[in-house]
Chain A
Amino acid sequence: NAGVTQTPKFRILKIGQSMTLQCTQDMNHNYMYWYRQDPGMGLKLIYYSVGAGITDKGEVPNGYNVSRSTTEDFPLRLELAAPSQTSVYFCASSYSAGQGIGYEQYFGPGTRLTVT
């Protein structure tokens, strides 16, 4: 049981390039999330998904896109990278079974992205 895995661990992009950050979970969780973490700012939600085929914007979606074709995978696409997208990106997953069971999110190890 690997939990939530993310690739790559590190990446340097030039301004205007594109890339996809991969996220996979093996816990059969229906909810998945993408966050960015900037120093002193906590975590900001970029996009989330409540199940395969359903995605929605979070707090800071501009410059990003997502898809959810399977329960396990939730890739994050950066188009036309900008220096403001330099950050650490975390993928997470969760489930809810009602009556307070679940709800906590489980995080991947993160991807450190630098755009220069």
Chain B
Amino acid sequence: AQSVAQPEDQVNVAEGNPLTVKCTYSVSGNPYLFWYVQYPNRGLQFLLKYITGDNLVKGSYGFEAEFNKSQTSFHLKKPSALVSDSALYFCAVRGLTGGGNKLTFGTGTQLKVEL
């Protein structure tokens, strides 16, 4: 079975500082990994994905994520945080086996960016 862990319920960072939101995964074989963002009272929005290739993936709104196979991690990063980045972030994994293109989501990390 595949699983995702987001070890921090909340991350606080000052505007202009770099941010990191952590994610570790467990899956048989090579993973497909995703990050989503959810603003209040909205659906999830796709940010970026890792399928294969370069371990550093760039996505929307200046976000990027680093895939580390040896540490089974896929941390989300941004060099300079904005107050508008404050939202709930979800990491998700898809294994290569099983049908339905199903994703398993983490429990989410609330990011709060303060002035």
The CA-CA distance from A50 to B98 in the complex, in Å, is 12
B34 within 8 A of A: yes
Known: A96-B101, A103-B101. A108 touches B43 (CB 8 A): yes
B63 within 8 A of A: no
B45 to nearest A CB, angstroms?
A: 7
A90 within 8 A of B: yes
A68 to nearest B CB, angstroms?
A: 12
The CA-CA distance from A106 to B103 in the complex, in Å, is 12
B44–A90 CB distance below 8 A: yes
Residue from A58, A90, A92, A100 in contact with B51 in the complex, judged by beta carbons closer than 8 Å: A100
The CA-CA distance from A102 to B9 in the complex, in Å, is 29
Residue from B41, B46, B99, B100 in contact with A104 in the complex, judged by beta carbons closer than 8 Å: B46
B100–A48 CB distance below 8 A: yes
Q: Which residues of B from 86 to 115 have beta carbons under 8 Å from A?
A: 90, 94, 99-103, 105-108
B22 within 8 A of A: no
Known: A31-B101, A42-B90. A104 touches B49 (CB 8 A): yes
B102–A109 CB distance below 8 A: no
Known: A42-B90, A50-B99, A94-B101. A103 touches B51 (CB 8 A): yes
B55 within 8 A of A: no
What is the 8 Å Cβ interface bit string for chain B, positions 1-12, against chain A (1 contact, 0 not)? 000000001000
A104–B34 CB distance below 8 A: yes
B44 to nearest A CB, angstroms?
A: 4
B42–A103 CB distance below 8 A: no
Task: Specify which chain B residues have a CB less than 8 angstroms from the CB of A94 in the assembled complex.
Answer: 101
Known: A31-B101, A45-B102. A105 touches B42 (CB 8 A): no
- List 7 additional A-B contacts (Cβ < 8 Å) besides A43-B90, A50-B101: A31-B101, A42-B107, A43-B44, A50-B99, A56-B100, A95-B101, A104-B49
10 closest A-B pairs by CB? A100-B51, A107-B43, A42-B107, A107-B44, A43-B105, A42-B105, A104-B46, A109-B43, A31-B101, A48-B100
Chain B interface (Cβ within 8 Å of chain A)? Answer: 9, 32, 34, 36, 41-46, 49, 51-52, 90, 94, 99-103, 105-108
